[in-house]
Amino acid sequence: MFKGSITALITPFTQDGAIDEKAFQSFVDWQLKQGTTGVVPVGTTGESPTLSHAEHHRVVELALEVAKGRGPVIAGTGSNSTAEAISLTRHAQNAGADAALVVTPYYNKPGQRGLYAHYKAIHDATDIPIVIYNIPGRSVVDMSVDTMAQLSKLPRIVGVKDATSDLERPALTRLAAGADFCQLSGEDGTIVPFLAQGGHGCISVTSNIAPKLCAELHAAWAAGNIAKVQELNYRLLPVHKAMFCETSPGPVKYAAELLGLCGSHMRLPMVEITEESKQRVESALRTAGILS
C-alpha cells in the first residue's frame, strides 16, 4: 500500500534544455531526507510529454539510483498510445520501479470500455503494480467508479491517483473497490477531506518545495492529531494555490529556483511564468515560512 506524501517530481533542465542529472539526483535525495514517503519521476509534473523515450528512461533510472530501498519509486509510464504505454511500463519494470503510474489516454477520448481495455492490455503485458491516474482536467476523459472497480479486480491494478477534485469519489471508490485499493489524491488543496473520505495519501506538487511540511501533515493524520493536521493544512493552503496560479509545473519550478534546488527552465510549449505569478509564489513561500 502506497501512502503518505509522495512527490510528483519536477525534472530540472539546464539552460540549454538538457536534463540536469546532477540537480535531479540531489533533489531526489533531499526529498527523501525531508520525509517524503516516495517519488514519482516523469509524471506530467516532470514534463514527460516533452521528453524523448531515451530521456524518459534515463530519468526513471536516475531516480531509482537514489531512491531504491529508501522509498517507493512510482514511474510515470502513461501515453495515449497503448503500445507506447506498454513499452514505457516494461522499461520501468525492468529498471526496478516499484509501480507504474499510468494516466488515462488524453486526446483520443476513449469511452469506458476503451479505458478498461487500455489498462487491461498494459496489465497483461507487464508484471509491475499499476496505479491509474485519473485527471479529467488534462486528459478530458473521466474514468467512472464502476470502471475503476472492474479494473481493481485485476491483480496488479493496485490503486488510483485521483485528480478529479470530486470529494465523493474516494468514498464511492472505497465502497466499490474495497479498502485495500490504494487511493492517492492528485490535488494538494483537497488532501484533508480526501483522507477523511477514505484516501491513503497524496501524489503532490507542493511537496516538491515543502516536503517536510507535507510529510508532517500526513504523519499527523496517521497519528490522529487533527489539530496539527489543521494547522499544517491552513499553513500550506496558500502555497497549494500559488503552485497552480499558472499551469503546472511553471510555478513550482520557479519556487524550486527560489529555494536554490534547481533552475526553473522548462521546455516549450511551457514558458516562464509572469512577474505577477512570481510575486505570488514568493509571497506564499514567505508566508508559509518555506522561504526566509
Residues in CB range of 287: below 8 A, 6 or more apart: 238
Encoded amino acid at 274, one letter: T
Is 278 annotated as catalytic? no
Note down pLDDT in tens along the chain; length 292 residues: 799 999 999 999 999 999 999 999 999 999 999 999 999 999 999 999 999 999 999 999 999 999 989 999 999 999 999 999 999 999 999 999 999 999 999 999 999 999 999 999 999 999 999 999 999 999 999 999 999 999 999 999 999 999 999 999 999 999 999 999 999 999 999 999 999 999 999 999 999 999 999 999 999 999 999 999 999 999 999 999 999 999 999 999 999 999 999 999 999 999 999 999 999 999 999 999 999 9
| Catalytic hit among 3, 116, 119, 161 | 161
Helix runs in the chain, H state only:
21-33, 53-67, 82-95, 112-125, 136-139, 145-152, 169-177, 191-196, 211-222, 226-242, 250-258, 275-287
Please state, in angstroms and rounded to a whole number, the distance separating the CA atoms of residues 193 and 185.
10
Residue type, 150: Q
pLDDT of res. 1: 79
Residues facing 185 on adjacent strands: 162, 202
Residue ranges for the known binding site are 45, 203
Q: Is 71 helix (H, G, I), strand (E, B) or coil?
A: coil
**Which amino acids are annotated as binding site for pyruvate, given as ranges?**
45, 203
Q: Is 253 a catalytic residue?
A: no
Quick one: which of 26, 17, 22 has its CA closest to 52? 17
Q: Characterize 42-59 residue by residue with b for buried, 16 or more Cβ atoms within 10 angstroms of its Cβ, and e for exposed.
A: bbbbbbbebbeeebbbbb
Tell me which of 116, 119, 133, 254 is the catalytic residue: 133
